[in-house]
Amino acid sequence: MYVSKIANPNTSFLKGFVYAHVGDSVAIDFFAGTGHQYVETRNNIAKLVQPNSFALNKKVQISASTSYFPDSRSCNVVGIIEGSDPKLKEEAIILGAHLDAVGSPGTLFPGALDNASGSVDILAAARALAASPVKPARTIIFIFFGGEECGLYGSKTFVESHLWPKEKVVCMINLDMVGNGTGLSMANGKTFPTILTHFSDVNEKYIHRNFTATEARVNYGRPRTDGAIFEKAGYKVIHLYTSGTVKTVYYHHPLDTTDALTPEIMEDAAKLLYLGVLGLANEKSDSANYSEPAQTYRISASGSNIWFGSDSFSLLSKRMSGDFILQTRVRFIGQGHELHRKTGLMIRSSAASNSPVVACTIHGDGLTSL
Ligand SMILES: [Zn+2]
């Protein structure tokens, strides 16, 4: 239950439809005498993803004093850092966070965690990227969405605007509630390992926070964050959150003030964003060209590593089974570059990022590893 009377707190306006939140105790009262159990019914719907409707035969009266402002306006604020590479600048990385918060006439919801935290993190990353002596090769677009809480209007407007061609968007990173906790989490990250690796590496090298990632899942419910609108439209979306909550979360609540934040994790989230995005923006585009007369491949690629779960630069692959002998002759082109660069053969049971793997590589400094 919300502490004050609110209707339509974060859903689209539907004429004549009053949307209200009730707590578990009220729901249990609804179920009393129906022969159905509230918790069991709810768990079954979640498990089977099937509706389970029946008549409660109860009358419920809900009252809420509401106002609708059809002429009110919101806006997106969009910033851009144009890529420094004449070709790669056509590709863009989008960072997004909603700037608005849930409000209620007569009660101010400061919205510190939801979502000043995400907006501030993007602003901090934008400032660092703009000042960085290493210029991003790809374009970076920063969007502060308006009207998220009243129906995801800002993100819908952006997606429908086709301001940047969708096929030229590397990914969209959404930040919603990134300011309370001790860890960093990238939802959907495991589905896009070549993107995730830039962020997990930065965390491992410089930030040292508990870092987790999950696979993308189909959302059967209504979309509740701007990233979901991009996801539905077919963009690669990663949601950055903070994990390991330390303070009480006052979600859509007047006590969502700066006291409800842990600024240290916000600082680290901004660093993760800055360094991770810079790595992603400057990732060389991979290529493998075959020369018929010389019978050689010339491979140009970059990635962070090929061990364990991540294989960020597999360039040529062939599916084989049965008995066979594999052999490769490799030579590095150019000298004096990264001594740790490596090339070689990798045998894996499948293309999945976590499949068993045997690798035989030679490093830039001549070290062989198996
Ligand atoms: Zn939010």
Contact 240, 269 (CB under 8 A): yes
CA–centroid distance, 355 to ligand 1, in Å, is: 36
CA–centroid distance, 78 to ligand 1, in Å, is: 18
For 42-90, the pLDDT digits (tens) are 899 889 888 889 998 998 887 777 777 888 889 999 999 999 999 999 9
HSE (CB half, 13 Å, CA atoms) of 203?
Answer: 18
CA–centroid distance, 229 to ligand 1, in Å, is: 13
- Amino acid making up residue 262: T
Highest mean pLDDT: which of 89-93, 218-222, 319-323?
A: 89-93
CA–centroid distance, 11 to ligand 1, in Å, is: 12
pTM of structure: 0.72
Specify the 3-state DSSP secondary structure of 210: strand
The token duo for 163 is 């301001």
CA–centroid distance, 51 to ligand 1, in Å, is: 27
pLDDT score at 118: 98
pLDDT score at 189: 93
| pLDDT confidence bin for 3, thresholds 50/70/90 | very low
**How is residue 104 annotated by DSSP?**
B
Compute the distance between CA of residue 81 and CA of residue 288 in angstroms, rounded to an integer: 30
CA–centroid distance, 250 to ligand 1, in Å, is: 12
Instruction: Tell me what the pLDDT averaged over the chain comes to.
Output: 87
CA–centroid distance, 81 to ligand 1, in Å, is: 25
HSE (CB half, 13 Å, CA atoms) of 322?
Answer: 2
CA separation (Å) from 294 to 95, 135, 291, 362? 44, 37, 6, 22
Of residues 25 and 3, more confidence is placed in 25
Task: State the Cα torsion 134-140-144-145 to the nearest 10°.
Answer: -160
Give 101: exposed, middle or buried? Use CB within 10 Å, 0-12, 13-18, 19+.
buried
CA–centroid distance, 346 to ligand 1, in Å, is: 43
CA–centroid distance, 183 to ligand 1, in Å, is: 19
CA–centroid distance, 153 to ligand 1, in Å, is: 13
CA–centroid distance, 165 to ligand 1, in Å, is: 26
Distance, C-alpha 56 to centroid of its chain: 40
CA–centroid distance, 177 to ligand 1, in Å, is: 6
Compute the distance between CA of residue 110 and CA of residue 2 in angstroms, rounded to an integer: 15
Compute the distance between CA of residue 184 and CA of residue 270 in angstroms, rounded to an integer: 11
For 236-283, the pLDDT digits (tens) are 999 999 999 999 998 888 899 999 999 999 999 999 999 999 999 998
Q: What end-to-end distance do the CA atoms of the chain give, in Å?
A: 59
263-281 and 117-131 helices cross at what angle (nearest 10)?
50
Sketch the domain layout of the chain as residue ranges.
Answer: 77-281, 287-370
CATH architecture of 77-281: 3-Layer(aba) Sandwich (3.40)
Is 80 exceeded by the pLDDT of residue 5?
no
The token duo for 199 is 């962020």
**Which residues, 6+ apart, have CB-to-CB distance to 269 below 8 Å?**
121, 175, 178, 179, 184, 240, 242
